[in-house]
Amino acid sequence: MRMLRRMTVLAAAGGLMLAMGGAGRGAQGSAVGAVAQANQTTVPGLVPVVPGMVPVAPRDEQMVKMEDEQAKNRNAERQKKLVEDTAKLLALANELKAAVDKSDKNTLSLDVVRKGDEIEKLAHSVKERMKGE
């Protein structure tokens, strides 16, 4: 996430520098041109530099594998939590049904209301987790 944010900021800064370099060629024109000329060189291990852009190191294969593994671990943990929460949700729903079956038409237990609230909160949590948020 940080890498993506950093790359976005660097791209925006490079675009701004490029736009400023093309628009303001007055007294600063020669200085901007010199910086752009100096940035056209390539550095070993880095992606070739585009004028006005900040060089960014290529993504290391090991880093990519590590990020993929972390994403898989997060997804596995999320799935495990979903299974646990849905099992708990089912148990609460069964308890609520049993409590409602015990009550009559004139009596509504406070325990039934609390279980309903708990089910609602848990269901919302499960829904958000399923979305991946």
Where are the strands (E) in the chain, listed by range? none
pLDDT per residue over 4-19, tens digit each?
555 555 555 555 455 5
Q: Check: CB of residue 92 under 8 Å from CB of residue 122.
A: yes
Contacts of 3 (CB under 8 A, 6+ apart): 59
Predicted confidence at residue 130, as pLDDT, reads 85
Predicted confidence at residue 87, as pLDDT, reads 95
pLDDT per residue over 37-64, tens digit each?
554 555 556 555 567 766 666 678 888 8
Instruction: Pick 108 or 60 by higher pLDDT.
Output: 60
Look at the pTM and tell me if it is higher than 0.95.
no
Domain residue ranges of the chain, discontinuous segments joined by +:
1-58, 61-131
Inform me whether the pLDDT recorded for 31 exceeds 60.
Answer: no
How far is CA 131 from each of CA 4, 65, 80, 86, rounded to the nearest angstrom?
Answer: 21, 24, 15, 15
Instruction: Pick 69 or 35 by higher pLDDT.
Output: 69
